[in-house]
């Protein structure tokens, strides 16, 4: 919608976003409110456990596990 508005502006035809939405029958929230996905959040305690586990698995099994 914004790119269309900018294209019209380069042709020296100024149209408000409200008019464009009315012409195309688009709801206001679909133009202004873009859904964004937040990056996954991990707690510090869980991150510490996972890094410790990956370090231990890189070393190999302990002798107690082999018995």
Domain ranges of the chain: 1-34
- Which residues, in sequence order, are CB contacts of 26 under 8 Å at separation 6+? 1, 20
Q: Taking the complete model, does pTM exceed 0.85, yes or no?
A: no
pLDDT one-digit tens code per residue, 19-55: 988 888 988 877 777 777 777 777 887 877 777 766 6
DSSP label of 42: -
Give the pLDDT score at 49. 79
Q: For residues 7, 11, 16 and 19, what is the CA-based torsion angle, rounded to 10 degrees? A: -90
Residue 43 dihedral angles phi and psi, to the nearest 5°: -75, 150
Residue 59 pLDDT grade (very low, low, confident, very high; cuts 50, 70, 90) = low
Q: Strands, DSSP E only, in the chain? A: none
Give the pLDDT score at 57. 63
In angstroms, the CA 24 to CA 8 distance is 15
Q: Above 60 in pLDDT, residue 67?
A: no
């Amino acid at each position: 919608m914004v790119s269309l508005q900018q294209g019209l502006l380069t042709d020296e035809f100024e149209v408000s976003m409200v008019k464009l939405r009315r012409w195309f029958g688009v709801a206001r929230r679909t133009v202004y409110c873009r859904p964004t996905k937040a990056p996954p959040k991990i707690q510090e305690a869980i991150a510490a456990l996972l890094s410790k586990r990956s370090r231990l698995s890189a070393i190999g099994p302990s002798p107690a596990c082999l018995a």
